[in-house]
Amino acid sequence: MTEPLSVTLADVERAQQTVEEIVMRTPVEKSRALGRIAGQDVYFKCENLQRAGSFKVRGAYVRMAQLSEEEKHRGVVAASAGNHAQGVAVAAKGLGIKATIFMPLGAAIPKVSATRGHGAEVILEGETVDQALEAAKRHAEETGAVFIHPFDHPQVVAGQGTIGLELLEQVPDLDTVICGVGGGGLLAGVAVALKEKAKELGRDITVIGVQAENAAAYPPSLAADALVPLTKVSTIADGIAVGRPGQVPFSVIRELVDDVVTVSEDALSRALIFLLERAKMVVEPAGAVGVAALMEGAVTPKGTTAVILSGGNIDPLLMLKVIQRGLFASGRFITVRIMLDDRPGSLKSISRIIADNDANVTRVDHTRIGGSIAMGRVAITIDLETKGHEHAETVFEALRAEGFEPIVQEG
């Protein structure tokens, strides 16, 4: 016999009444461009426009609103690299609770500043989120402050599930929902809301989670029917860079979620550029995994589909790197190396061929020195802007036709 779920639809519905006090009802936007790729109507649930820039404020507020007056007086403590920190800070300010947030030393400066700006005390400690988490737990033991877990608590899961109820009200004919998953709080909450509500309505809604392939603890955990921690996590999607699923969300996800798939770092980069160019949306990598899954064909949706853009808190420096990587992955920015005879006019010929084929040179490096460069030869390294892989290949073919051999350099 299946055990009762630790979070129910009734819990999410109560949470919805609670969060109305503080969160905004984020908009839903139709994406015709992504719809053409997916072959279905596709909508974005724009939690990147939520207060504090992500969905995290929902779960944090529901959890903290249930604290007793004595617990509120003791204050709360949390650990996060960004989104949970800001969510707890906003929730604490709204409830009049003192919040202490431990963040790793390498946390993005904009996220640290924003967390302090919401009124929380920020303590930078540890090289990783896990180390900051241990520091936060020690602080809770020493001071009596209530520890607010980012995902592994029924009330947090119920709070995140309010997105699902909103989404169903905004898109009543919903058939498929796709969202990112790290520890699992968002996916579990959304699954409870949509699966149980759909059951009441006599229909079914497919719910799919997406992880970055270098931080994917859920596929092996679901296969083993037990929590399987990762030994290493490495992804630009820091919002879902979680090495071990939460027990509470895992118990829900294994019962309700239809599938959990993974996407590559390059797919994430391409998805972020797509969102910037085609949807005019600033979304962090963790919030773009669902878009990446549709663009790469990792998910084949059925019927009306919604993708939850879970957050928009991205460090501008990371955005710069991601854009560069995304342009390279899509063939729009390419570095090539060409060996040629060291004689006048060779570089001019290459420039003419590139210009004639409507590509643009942004940088040229010219050297005669190097162990692989023979006497009388020169190496030219060129950064090119093209319209994509097909256009780039046209440029390369034109170069080869005139005796040059361009070699693409990996990014």
pLDDT, averaged per 10 consecutive residues of the chain (411 residues), comes to 83 97 95 97 98 96 97 96 92 97 88 94 88 93 96 97 98 97 97 96 96 97 96 90 94 98 95 95 96 97 97 90 84 88 82 93 80 73 91 92 88 58
Beta bridge partners of 54: 311
β-bridge pairing 305-309 and 176-180: parallel
232 as an active site residue: the answer is: no
Q: Which tokens in the block code for residue 308?
A: 């939850």
Q: Tell me the H-state helices in 171-244.
A: 185-200, 218-224
- The confidence score (pLDDT) of residue 372 equals 67
Given the residues 31, 45, 54, 56, select the one marked as catalytic: 56
In the prediction, which pLDDT does 1 show?
Answer: 42
Q: Minimal CA–CA distance to 62: which of 106, 20, 101, 32?
A: 20
Catalytic site includes residue 68: no
The continuous run of DSSP H or E covering 268 comes out as helix 265-274
pTM of the model: 0.88
Number of CB atoms found within 10 A of residue 247's CB: 13
Report whether 147 contacts 140 (CB < 8 A): yes
**DSSP alpha helices (H): ranges in 66-148?**
69-74, 83-95, 109-117, 129-143
Q: What is the largest CA-CA distance in the chain?
A: 82
How far from 167 is each of 28, 43, 46, 66, 236, CA to CA, in Å?
A: 8, 10, 10, 24, 27
**CA-based nearest residue to 351, from 361, 336, 340, 342:** 361
Q: How high is the pLDDT of residue 369? A: 65
Catalytic entry in 80, 221, 269, 310: 310
Tokens of 59: 């779960």
- How far from each other are the two terminal CA atoms of the chain, in whole angstroms? 52
